[in-house]
């Protein structure tokens, strides 16, 4: 019995209980049966789900249920990216151990996920902070160490001198420690690196084998890997032997400064040469120049990321040294510049201000010469005054024997001329760096190394894995608590048995997320992976935020290739198809305080009026009725207080409404604007569906199968409308355009509701239409469709019903509409059978009442028929 009122809380709990009891989403490997692996990026257990999660996991669930109804063996797992800094911060703030905090959050968020009715195989749940997961991080680390894919090298870290601790990049704010405010120092310490650069070429070329990835993501990966074809050019120099100055006849020490350039064709336009602050030549010059030494120190304190370097103000200082131009023997000044990176190319550039943006800005600032050597859109002459660098390729000018050559020719000619003096060679340079994985943090996977005074750094033997992280420690901000915990720290050297000390660095948490998708395929395995993973991998559809477009996906691709080379998997690429869902946005409201501070107002705490164009005209705070400023639409965020808590939404309207709204409001890749009226609209549609089913339940239950032959015209039309909407919706399902799937479902319900007549024949159309509609909508709103499917007597479980299919006979149009004109003017419309003959059409046209009025008894002299379109009566 379907009650009159739609009560989502009751039916959703019931449907979820049914799925639990029937273990509906637990799957097994079934060799020979087509599999589908649908995966959403696993969440960090921050405490509560946010709308971005709900959107992400709803998209994944809709695809999962859709593929399952297509008959595939579908795996959709879930787990927790459970290590990381926020747990340590929460621990410091609340005095609770990160492990406790993390497990509590997992428990709460798991309940939230379950209340949304996702078709998840919870038997495969994992949390990366569990020893039986991270032991395999350690195990693979050791295999990579054996292969030389992991190696030790010194790296630079941020050191807080007050707290005596290493800070993560995000803990450094304007060059100061986030807690102490102390100026952060750079320190060099030994760290473990993974040689991702060994796979650079493959990581680049295999992007072309991923047609199911968004072009934008592939481009971002490509730029990150950054393969550049260029020339390494040598600029000879001579240093004076006494740092104090050049005495007569002092020949000094000679050498060659190497630079890397992608624009060897501009070599004749080089007007100075610049090196990074850490470059040996800069350090040499600083020995006799305290001002330069201070400048170098200042550069070292600054940001290290590329983004920081690209945006920061250009700073520089001359070294007083010069180098020799390898083709002209001209002497060029050598500068130290903060825009030159030590870690890229040669840590030095030949500067061509006329044709390079950064060199131009620098030259402009320090009054260095600018010399054009390429015919560009600026023309052959120096445009005065210089406003900009002209970076386009073009023909060489002002370049002596190279004049007239185009880019490729010039690069070849210059490279081979330089080659004669051993001052140039073609070279490929990569932007990609090896991946430093050591973190001086507690809450992460312990690096399985033991330090022995006699034997050095000794790998933990395999049988001693996992190195278990003690879970009860509470960091207090003064460094890694493992360093003060003897039970962890002290151990015996595996090689000589003498007392030794455990490594206390842990792994970057990107390690944890680099292979979790393999582990879902092999829950409980006593190996990193077993044969079961071969059945499931690769992931058929991966879904997550664009913020992971580069690092997470690149590291996962890298680990997969390493695992392949170790014989652990057959796949080379982990994710066949990738969907990056759009952000969830909401209005932003704020007031500016007297001192310039900004107070944000949650959308629920303001009243907003709009004009008839939908523009916001007036906003006031509910609390005091006073105006509040409107900040437009932006990503939901805690700091701007414009988030909406999914929990309230689920409690008020139910999971199906939340899911339906998410799917209806925008296609998955696009940004979704939050809208309370949209949510209410989604709810109203579900209630209409429910009420329709309640009203028609007896009729539908009792009805038989549609017999197309006995349908009258209006039933045939209703049925055709239903099948036409279904056909379009199925097409949209296939291309993951769920918003129009939902509108298709709405059209189907409208067509059903328009059927009048209570006869047995009409009921057969209702029964068929409702069956199609419930199956179509079941991936999106699984609870209501589950209940109605059962209550209307279609079967026990809509999940195991066949995916709906439109019927050709229902789609065939039996009538066509023709417009009728009298003397070329539109006067009426007629519906005639598609196969009607000329006489029948003429008769129908003349019988149309409005047409009769305009003919007014005049004799019709001629009738023109355009088949399928119109009839024109001439009189």
Identify the bridge partners of residue 167 per DSSP, sorted by sequence position: 158
Nearer to ligand ANZ, 261 or 577 (CB): 261
**Is 341 a binder of ligand ANZ (CB under 6 A)?**
yes
Task: Show contacts with ligand ANZ in window 727-746 (CB under 6 A).
Answer: none
Residues with Cβ within 8 Å of 745's Cβ and at least 6 positions away in sequence, in order, are 725, 729, 773, 776, 777, 780
Write phi, then psi, for 439 (nearest 5 degrees): -130, 135
Nearer to Zn ion, 257 or 460 (CB): 460
Q: Please state, in angstroms and rounded to a whole number, the distance separating the CA atoms of residues 125 and 121.
A: 8
Residues with Cβ within 8 Å of 177's Cβ and at least 6 positions away in sequence, in order, are 160, 162, 163, 167, 171, 184
Q: Is omega for the bond preceding 446 within 30 degrees of 0, making it cis?
A: no
Nearer to ligand ANZ, 355 or 736 (CB): 355
Q: Please state, in angstroms and rounded to a whole number, the distance separating the CA atoms of residues 509 and 520.
A: 18
Nearer to Zn ion, 350 or 452 (CB): 452
**Is 266 a binder of ligand ANZ (CB under 6 A)?**
yes
Q: What angle do CA 111, 57, 690 make, to 5 degrees?
A: 80
Cβ proximity of 506 and 445 under 8 Å: yes
**Is 344 a binder of ligand ANZ (CB under 6 A)?**
yes
Task: Report residue 732 as tokens.
Answer: 């949209």
DSSP state string for 734-756 = HTT-HHHHHHHHHHHHHHHHH--
Nearer to ligand ANZ, 352 or 500 (CB): 352
Residues with Cβ within 8 Å of 167's Cβ and at least 6 positions away in sequence, in order, are 157, 158, 159, 160, 177, 178, 184
Q: How far is the CB of 192 from Zn ion (least distance, A)?
A: 19
Cβ proximity of 841 and 789 under 8 Å: no
Nearer to ligand ANZ, 393 or 790 (CB): 393
Nearer to ligand ANZ, 375 or 519 (CB): 375
Q: How far is the CB of 356 from ligand ANZ (least distance, A)?
A: 4
Which partner in ligand ANZ, Zn ion, none is near 452 (CB below 5 to 8 A by kind)?
Zn ion
Residues with Cβ within 8 Å of 555's Cβ and at least 6 positions away in sequence, in order, are 196, 435, 510, 511, 513, 514
Q: How far is the CB of 454 from Zn ion (least distance, A)?
A: 4
Q: How far is the CB of 496 from Zn ion (least distance, A)?
A: 3
Task: Show contacts with ligand ANZ in window 215-244 (CB under 6 A).
Answer: 226, 228
Which partner in ligand ANZ, Zn ion, none is near 747 (CB below 5 to 8 A by kind)?
none
Q: How far is the CB of 381 from ligand ANZ (least distance, A)?
A: 18
Chain length of the chain: 875
Nearer to Zn ion, 142 or 410 (CB): 142
Which partner in Zn ion, ligand ANZ, none is near 774 (CB below 5 to 8 A by kind)?
none
Q: Please state, in angstroms and rounded to a whole number, the distance separating the CA atoms of residues 561 and 144.
A: 12
Cβ proximity of 387 and 377 under 8 Å: no
Q: Please state, in angstroms and rounded to a whole number, the distance separating the CA atoms of residues 756 and 717.
A: 12
3-class secondary-structure state, position 855: helix
Which partner in ligand ANZ, Zn ion, none is near 347 (CB below 5 to 8 A by kind)?
ligand ANZ
Q: Please state, in angstroms and rounded to a whole number, the distance separating the CA atoms of residues 788 and 792.
A: 6
Q: What are the start-end ranges of the H helices in 70-97?
A: 85-94
**Is 350 a binder of ligand ANZ (CB under 6 A)?**
yes
Residue 68 DSSP one-character state: H
**Is 398 a binder of ligand ANZ (CB under 6 A)?**
no
Task: Report residue 112 as tokens.
Answer: 């939230």
**Is 260 a binder of ligand ANZ (CB under 6 A)?**
yes
Question: Of 52, 60, 84, 347, which one interacts with ligand ANZ (CB under 6 A)?
Answer: 347
Q: How far is the CB of 137 from Zn ion (least distance, A)?
A: 24
Q: How far is the CB of 231 from ligand ANZ (least distance, A)?
A: 9
Question: Of 356, 505, 512, 573, which one interacts with ligand ANZ (CB under 6 A)?
Answer: 356
Cβ proximity of 808 and 713 under 8 Å: no
**Is 340 a binder of ligand ANZ (CB under 6 A)?**
yes
Which partner in Zn ion, ligand ANZ, none is near 261 (CB below 5 to 8 A by kind)?
ligand ANZ
Which partner in ligand ANZ, Zn ion, none is near 350 (CB below 5 to 8 A by kind)?
ligand ANZ
Distances (CA, A) of 624 to 466, 587, 593, 619, 627: 59, 20, 16, 12, 9
Q: Is omega for the bond preceding 106 within 30 degrees of 0, making it cis?
A: no
Question: Of 130, 180, 262, 750, which one interacts with ligand ANZ (CB under 6 A)?
Answer: 262
- Cβ count near 359 (within 10 Å): 27
Question: Of 50, 355, 502, 587, which one interacts with ligand ANZ (CB under 6 A)?
Answer: 355
Which partner in ligand ANZ, Zn ion, none is near 271 (CB below 5 to 8 A by kind)?
none
Which partner in ligand ANZ, Zn ion, none is near 493 (CB below 5 to 8 A by kind)?
Zn ion
**Is 394 a binder of ligand ANZ (CB under 6 A)?**
no
Q: Is 638 annotated as a binding residue?
A: yes
Q: How far is the CB of 316 from ligand ANZ (least distance, A)?
A: 12
654: left (phi over 0), alpha (psi -120 to 50) or beta: left
**Is 261 a binder of ligand ANZ (CB under 6 A)?**
yes
Q: Which positions touch Zn ion (CB under 5 A)? A: 452, 454-455, 493, 495-496
Distances (CA, A) of 385 to 317, 365, 379, 381, 756: 24, 14, 14, 11, 80
Question: Of 323, 352, 537, 693, which one interacts with ligand ANZ (CB under 6 A)?
Answer: 352
Q: How far is the CB of 270 from ligand ANZ (least distance, A)?
A: 7
Binding mask 428-467 for ligand ANZ (x = CB under 6 A): -x--------------------------------------
Binding mask 402-431 for ligand ANZ (x = CB under 6 A): ---------------------------x--
- Cβ count near 703 (within 10 Å): 21
Identify the bridge partners of residue 672 per DSSP, sorted by sequence position: 584
Which partner in ligand ANZ, Zn ion, none is near 441 (CB below 5 to 8 A by kind)?
none
Residues in binding contact with ligand ANZ, number by CB under 6 A:
19
Binding mask 644-683 for ligand ANZ (x = CB under 6 A): ----------------------------------------
Which partner in Zn ion, ligand ANZ, none is near 131 (CB below 5 to 8 A by kind)?
none
Query: What is the distance in angstroms between the CA of the first residue and the CA of the last residue of the chain?
Result: 63
Q: How far is the CB of 343 from ligand ANZ (least distance, A)?
A: 7
Q: How far is the CB of 269 from ligand ANZ (least distance, A)?
A: 7
Write phi, then psi, for 722 (nearest 5 degrees): -65, -45
**Is 58 a binder of ligand ANZ (CB under 6 A)?**
no
**Is 263 a binder of ligand ANZ (CB under 6 A)?**
yes
Cβ proximity of 327 and 418 under 8 Å: yes
Question: Of 45, 117, 345, 654, which one interacts with ligand ANZ (CB under 6 A)?
Answer: 345
| Furthest C-alpha separation in the chain | 123
Q: Is omega for the bond preceding 34 within 30 degrees of 0, making it cis?
A: no
Nearer to ligand ANZ, 356 or 768 (CB): 356
Q: How far is the CB of 267 from ligand ANZ (least distance, A)?
A: 8
Q: Please state, in angstroms and rounded to a whole number, the distance separating the CA atoms of residues 551 and 534.
A: 25
Nearer to Zn ion, 495 or 620 (CB): 495
- Per DSSP (E only), the strands in 604-699 are 606-610, 616-621, 629-635, 672-673
Which partner in Zn ion, ligand ANZ, none is near 341 (CB below 5 to 8 A by kind)?
ligand ANZ
Instruction: List interacting residues with ligand ANZ (CB under 6 A).
Output: 226, 228, 260-263, 266, 340-341, 344-345, 347, 349-350, 352, 355-356, 391, 429
List binding-site positions: 638
List binding-site positions for ATP: 638
């Amino acid at each position: 019995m379907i009650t009159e009122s739609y009560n989502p809380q009751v039916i959703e709990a019931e449907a979820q209980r049914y799925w639990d009891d029937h273990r509906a989403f637990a799957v097994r490997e079934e060799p020979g049966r087509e599999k589908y692996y649908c995966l959403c990026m696993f969440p960090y257990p921050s405490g509560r789900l946010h709308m971005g999660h709900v959107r992400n996991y709803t998209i994944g669930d809709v695809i999962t249920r859709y593929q399952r109804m297509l008959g595939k063996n579908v795996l959709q797992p879930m787990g927790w990216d459970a290590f990381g800094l926020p747990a340590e911060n929460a621990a410091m703030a609340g005095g609770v151990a990160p492990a406790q905090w993390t497990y509590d959050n997992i428990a709460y968020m798991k309940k939230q996920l379950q209340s949304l009715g996702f078709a998840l195989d919870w038997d495969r749940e994992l949390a990366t902070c569990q020893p039986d997961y991270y032991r395999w991080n350690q195990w693979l680390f050791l295999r990579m160490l054996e292969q030389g894919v992991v190696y030790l090298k010194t790296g630079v870290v941020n050191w807080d001198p007050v707290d005596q601790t290493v800070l993560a990049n995000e803990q450094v704010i304007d060059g100061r420690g986030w807690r102490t405010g102390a100026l952060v120092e750079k320190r060099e310490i030994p760290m473990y690196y993974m040689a991702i650069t060994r796979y650079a070429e493959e990581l680049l070329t295999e992007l072309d084998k991923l047609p199911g990835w968004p072009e934008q993501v592939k481009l971002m990966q490509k730029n990150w890997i950054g393969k550049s074809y260029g020339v390494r050019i040598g600029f000879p120099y001579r240093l004076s032997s006494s740092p104090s100055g050049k005495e007569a006849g002092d020949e000094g020490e000679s050498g060659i400064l190497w630079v890397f350039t992608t624009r060897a064709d501009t070599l004749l336009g080089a007007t100075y040469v610049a090196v990074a602050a850490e470059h040996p030549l800069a350090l040499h010059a600083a020995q006799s120049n305290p001002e330069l030494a201070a400048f170098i120190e200042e550069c070292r304190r600054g940001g290290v990321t590329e983004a920081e370097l690209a945006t920061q103000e250009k700073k520089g200082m001359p070294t007083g040294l010069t180098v020799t131009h390898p083709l002209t023997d001209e002497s060029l000044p050598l500068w130290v510049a903060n825009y030159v990176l030590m870690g890229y190319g040669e840590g030095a550039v030949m500067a061509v201000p006329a044709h390079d943006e950064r060199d131009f800005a620098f030259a402009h600032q320090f009054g260095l010469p600018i010399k054009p050597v390429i015919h560009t859109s600026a023309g052959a002459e120096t445009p005065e005054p210089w406003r900009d660098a002209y970076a386009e390729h073009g023909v060489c000018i002002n370049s002596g024997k190279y004049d007239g050559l185009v880019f490729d020719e010039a690069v070849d000619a210059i490279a081979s001329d330089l080659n004669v003096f051993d001052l140039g060679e073609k070279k490929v340079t990569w932007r990609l760096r090896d991946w430093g994985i050591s973190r001086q943090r507690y809450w992460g996977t312990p690096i399985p190394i033991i330090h022995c005074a006699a034997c050095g750094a000794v790998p933990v033997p395999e049988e001693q894995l996992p190195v278990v992280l003690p879970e009860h420690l509470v960091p207090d901000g003064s460094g890694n608590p493992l360093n003060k915990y003897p039970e962890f720290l002290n151990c015996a050297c595996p090689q000589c048995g003498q007392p030794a000390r455990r490594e206390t660095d842990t792994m970057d948490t990107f390690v944890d997320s680099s292979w979790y998708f393999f582990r879902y395929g092999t829950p409980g395995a006593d190996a990193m992976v077993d044969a079961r993973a071969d059945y499931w991998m690769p992931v058929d559809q991966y879904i997550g935020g664009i913020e992971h477009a580069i690092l997470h996906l690149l590291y996962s691709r890298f680990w997969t290739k390493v695992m392949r080379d170790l014989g652990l998997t057959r796949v080379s690429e982990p994710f066949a198809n990738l969907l990056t869902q759009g952000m969830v946005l909401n209005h932003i409201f704020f007031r500016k305080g007297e001192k310039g501070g900004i107070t944000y107002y949650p959308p629920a705490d303001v009243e907003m009026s709009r004009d008839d164009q939908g523009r916001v005209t007036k906003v006031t705070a509910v609390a005091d009725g006073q105006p509040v400023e409107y900040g437009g639409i932006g990503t939901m965020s805690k700091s701007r207080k414009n988030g909406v808590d999914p929990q309230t939404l689920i409690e008020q309207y139910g999971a199906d409404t939340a899911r339906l709204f998410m799917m209806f409001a925008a296609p998955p890749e696009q940004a979704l604007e939050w809208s309370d009226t949209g949510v209410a609209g989604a709810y109203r549609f579900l209630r209409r569906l429910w009420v329709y089913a309640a009203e028609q339940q007896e009729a539908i239950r009792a009805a038989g199968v549609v017999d197309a032959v006995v349908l009258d015209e209006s039933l045939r039309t209703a049925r055709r409308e239903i099948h036409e909407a279904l056909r379009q919706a199925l097409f949209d399902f296939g291309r993951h355009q769920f918003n129009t799937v939902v509108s298709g479902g709405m059209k189907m319900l409208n067509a059903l509701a328009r059927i009048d007549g209570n006869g047995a024949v009409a009921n057969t159309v209702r029964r068929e239409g409702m069956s199609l509609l419930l199956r179509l909508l079941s991936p999106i709103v699984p609870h209501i469709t589950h209940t109605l499917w059962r209550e209307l007597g279609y079967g026990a479980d809509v999940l195991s019903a066949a995916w709906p299919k439109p019927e050709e006979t229902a789609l065939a149009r039996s009538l066509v509409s023709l417009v009728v004109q009298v003397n070329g003017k539109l006067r009426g419309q007629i519906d005639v059978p598609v196969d009607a003959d000329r006489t029948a059409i003429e008769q129908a046209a003349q019988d149309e009442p409005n047409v009769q009025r305009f003919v007014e008894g005049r004799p019709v002299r001629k009738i023109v028929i355009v088949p399928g379109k119109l009839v024109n009566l001439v009189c």
